[in-house]
Structure formats: structure tokens, C-alpha cells
Structure 1
Amino acid sequence: MIDHHIGMLSIAIAALINIWLSWRCGTARGKAKVMHGDGGDTALHRHMRAHANFVEYTPIALLLILVLDMNDQVGWLLALTATVFLVGRVLHAIGMQADKPSMPRMVGMLTTLVPYAIWIVWVVLVVFQVV
């Protein structure tokens, strides 16, 4: 049996982060007593955007991770970049609650975009059998 543990574990961790972000939205929605949309509530809006941002970046990232894992690429590097990405997604969500630009948000985006770019190049190199 082929082992795709890095991809599968990344998916599981991302699903847990997604549940956490969803829970934060639900809690903020309850506090604001808003059923639909954000009702003009700043905290709820920020939670919703953090969740949406996660959903905007994570599916493609997980596909890139899984494709690299399925092609037996360097496991430690794939695991490291997946960890950096997932930690970055949490930091970004936390940083989204600040009133002004914050270090967690900035670091979160940096640790999202750098692994993303690495994986894109890496997948292209695999496709052309460079690595």
C-alpha cells in the first residue's frame, strides 16, 4: 500500500482548523444575534473573512501537498512546508481580529504564500521530471 501520510494528515489538520474557524464565526454570530451576513458587526465580519480566507487558499494548497506526496517527493520538506502553511493559516486568522495591521496576520500571509509558491514550482519540476 502506498503511504500518503503527509497529504492525509495535512487534510485532517486543515479540517480541524476549518471547524475551529467555523466555531469562531458561530460564536460571534450568537453574540451579535445575527442570523445572516454580518449585520454590521465588526468582530463577526472579521471572523467571517478569516474563515473565507482560509477556504480561499487551503483547498489548492492541500491538492498541491497531496500531489507531491503521491509522487513520493522529499517527505521532510513536504511535511515542513505543510506545517508552516497550516500554522500560518492559524496565525492569519488570529491576526484578522486586530484593528490595524498585525504581526500574526503578516506572518500568517507570508507563511501561506511562501510554501504555496514552493509547491507550485515543485509540482512543475515534478511534471517535467526535473526532480
Structure 2
Amino acid sequence: MNQSALAAAGLYAGLNALILLWLTMATALVRRRHMVVIGDGGVAHLRRTMRGHANAIENIPVMLVLLGFAAALGAPVLAIHLLGAAFTVGRTLHAWHFSHAEAAQWQRATGFGLSVLTLGAATLGVLGHALLLL
């Protein structure tokens, strides 16, 4: 197993965990500001922040699993860095868009696009590597 590739996957795991922490804190701050303990309390900004957090929870773990498997299956460290960096930039833009009450639509679109593109590429890469090694 390529230790550098595994270390790169670990780097993006850590960076994306920071994004999740940021979204957790953003959600908590909006909850506290509007005194909402459960649900969204009908607060549009809270609903928006919660949706951004939920979207990150839906996507980040899958990508991190794929990066870990790619590293374990022998993917080049450059591939891990390209996929991991693009995904992390995408998730950061997406989180920025959803953590603010109002934000430019390009942030959401670019963040979504980078996330889906890299998730798809990582999926195909892991499937390809796995099938070749069977």
C-alpha cells in the first residue's frame, strides 16, 4: 500500500471534517440566535443552514471512503490529491453558500459541480481498480 496516497486521503479526511465542524457550529449559532431547539422553527436561514449541513453529511463520508479505498488499491498519490482537493474546494464553496443567509448562486452551483464530478470520478476509479484486481 502506498503510504503517501493513504496520507493524502487522511489529509482530505481531516480537511472535510473541519468543513463538517464549521457547518455544525454555523447551525448551532443560527439555532441560538433564533432560540430554536428542535427542527427549523420556521426560520428560513436555519432551514438553509441545516440543509447545507445535511448535504455535507450525505456526501463527505462517501468520498472519504472512496479516497481511502483508492489509496489502499494502489491509486497514485497525484490522483488522490486531485480528487481530494477538487472535492474539498467544492464542499467549501457549497458550505459557504448554505451557511450564509444570502449568497451567490455560483457558489452552490460550482460546489455541487465539483463535488459530483469528483465523486463520480472516484467511484469509477475505485470500481476499475477493484475489478482489475479481482
Q: 1:41-87: CA deviations, max 9, x gaps?
A: 11111111000000001111100000001122111121111111011
C-alpha RMSD over aligned residues: 1.9
TM-score by length of 1: 0.91
In structure 2, the residue matched to 1:129 is 132
Conserved? CA contact 1:50–1:93, under 8 Å:
yes
Q: How does 1:75-90 map to 2 (within 5 A)?
A: 75-90=77-92
- Runs of 4 or more above 6 Å deviation: none
- Out of 55, 58, 66, which is 1:56 matched to? 58
Q: Among residues 98, 103, 112, which one is paired with 1:109 in the alignment? A: 112
Higher helix share: 2
1:73 is matched by which residue type in structure 2?
Answer: A
Q: Which residue, 34, 43, 46 being the options, matches 1:44?
A: 46
After superposition, what is the alpha-carbon deviation per residue over 1:11-41, rounded to whole angstroms, capped at 9, x for unaligned?
1111111110000001100111111111001
* Unaligned residue ranges in structure 1 (runs of 5+): none
Determine helix, strand or coil for the equivalent of 1:72. coil
Q: Secondary structure at the residue paired with 2:132? A: coil
**How many residues are aligned here?**
130
Q: Structure 2: how far apart are the matches of 1:54 and 1:13?
A: 13
Q: Give structure 2 stretches of 5+ with no counterpart.
A: none
Tell me how far apart the structure 2 counterparts of residues 94 and 58 of structure 1 sit (CA, whole Å): 15
Provide the TM-score with structure 2 as the length reference. Answer: 0.89
Contact 1:6 1:66 (C-alpha < 8 Å) held by counterparts? no
